[in-house]
Copies of this chain bind each other. A is one copy, B any other.
Amino acid sequence: MKMKWEENVRRVVPYVPGEQPEGSRLVKLNTNECPYPASPRVVEALRAVEADSLRLYPDPETGELRQVLADRYRVKKEQVFVGVGSDDVLANAFLAFFNSEKPLLFPDITYSFYDVWAELFGINYERVPLNDELRIVAEDYRRENGGIIFPNPNAPTGIFEELSVVREILEANRDVVVIVDEAYVDFGGVSALPLLEEYDNLLVVQTFSKSRAMAGARIGFAIGNEKLIGYLNDVKFSFNSYTMSRPAIAMGVACVKDDAYFREIVEKVVNTRERTKAELRKLGFSFPDSRANFLFATHERIPAKELFEACRAEQIYVRYFAKERIDNYLRISIGTDEEMDILLDFLREYVANH
């Protein structure tokens, strides 16, 4: 029976995150986490959180974390916004910047949270199809719109578009906010951050969940011009003053300070990715040239869904999207070399027998 109060309930179809199975035997290559632990400095910072400080509210401005990020990316602290993972940053940005009657534009194949946020906040949107090579075409974004967002590298394709493409989109859209979602940029892309000097309508969003191996700590950030960040802060402070816990701030600061470790684990993931590409090709897989920490692979003969289920039965978790245009692809996160060998051994045998 429907209750009367249900009439005023906001009906939404939420984003479905990848499975988070727990267990030690399984090979988890389904949510693009980093296979290496967070920096030892991060763990030290967590252990060092003062017991008595937990009773006190954290700094609502997260000043220290914003300052180390500002130093690291050579911008001012006032240009940095911090949130509970990049999803929190993006949700706040949608709420702050996409209030036009004209449609928000994003690729048809992309991070599947974009349309969820648009639906949640009642934002008009249109999907712009990727071309046949699954590439973003800049001139497709030369049309009336109320804002633009795309990931670079794109997800789940892994394809990185050169900054000339980003610049072309910005150049044609100076009157709306353009968000470049760089969740995966550290694995071989080039950040759009240098374009901030020219474009005051650009917001660059990054995360600690992938290249910084801290998905469990929930930290993301955005960098833009001061005015843009000011508006984003106004919305954030109208939603929740204190989003970042004391342990999260401490861990985030320690992480950014340990740049050597960050570079080391990113390099390892990139090396494993390139080796995995070569091995998968030998088995009849093809994929766009990923610059992310995952591959988006399709097999010449065996349907992706079948492979997904066969892997899962072996406790090897990859991601499959039952969605038009991409329902014959597997998104495979790059794990350790050992994890990739387990996957490759299994696929080698499976492909040989089917």
Chain A interface residues (CB < 8 Å from chain B): 3-17, 20, 28, 31, 33-38, 40, 42-43, 46-47, 49, 51-60, 84-85, 87-88, 91, 95-100, 116-117, 119-120, 146-147, 174-177, 200-201, 209, 213-218, 227, 231, 233-248, 251
From residue A234, how far is it (CB to closest CB) to chain B in Å? 5
Contact B55 A214, beta carbon cutoff 8 Å: yes
16 residue pairs of the A-B complex, CB under 8 angstroms, read A3-B200, A4-B175, A5-B200, A6-B227, A7-B175, A8-B146, A10-B99, A12-B234, A14-B235, A20-B58, A37-B55, A58-B216, A84-B242, A88-B243, A91-B240, A120-B235
A17 to B61, CA, bound (A): 11
From residue A256, how far is it (CB to closest CB) to chain B in Å? 15
A218 to B235, CA, bound (A): 19
Chain B CB within 10 A, most for which of A33, A217, A247: A247
Would you list the 5 A-B pairs with minimal beta carbon distance, nearest first? A14-B237, A216-B246, A4-B175, A55-B213, A17-B241
Contact A9 B214, beta carbon cutoff 8 Å: no
What residue in chain B is nearest A209 (Cβ atoms)? B57
A242 to B3, CA, bound (A): 30
Contact A3 B227, beta carbon cutoff 8 Å: yes
Contact A215 B56, beta carbon cutoff 8 Å: yes
A201-B96 contact, Cβ under 8 Å, with A85-B242, A213-B54, A247-B247: no
For residue A247, which residues in chain B have a CB less than 8 angstroms away from its CB? 46, 216-217, 245, 247-248
Contact B120 A239, beta carbon cutoff 8 Å: yes
A236 to B248, CA, bound (A): 20
From residue A274, how far is it (CB to closest CB) to chain B in Å? 21
Contact B209 A17, beta carbon cutoff 8 Å: no
Contact A238 B119, beta carbon cutoff 8 Å: yes
A209 to B213, CA, bound (A): 28
From residue A263, how far is it (CB to closest CB) to chain B in Å? 16
Known: A8-B177, A245-B248. 8 other contacts (CB 8 A): A5-B175, A10-B95, A11-B234, A14-B236, A33-B56, A84-B84, A117-B238, A217-B247
Contact A15 B241, beta carbon cutoff 8 Å: yes
From residue A122, how far is it (CB to closest CB) to chain B in Å? 9
A84 to B240, CA, bound (A): 8
From residue A332, how far is it (CB to closest CB) to chain B in Å? 17
Contact A87 B8, beta carbon cutoff 8 Å: no
Contact A43 B54, beta carbon cutoff 8 Å: yes
Contact B54 A20, beta carbon cutoff 8 Å: no
A177 to B120, CA, bound (A): 19
A120 to B117, CA, bound (A): 15
For residue A56, which residues in chain B have a CB less than 8 angstroms away from its CB? 20, 28, 33, 215-216
A259 to B214, CA, bound (A): 31
A38 to B53, CA, bound (A): 9
Contact B51 A38, beta carbon cutoff 8 Å: yes
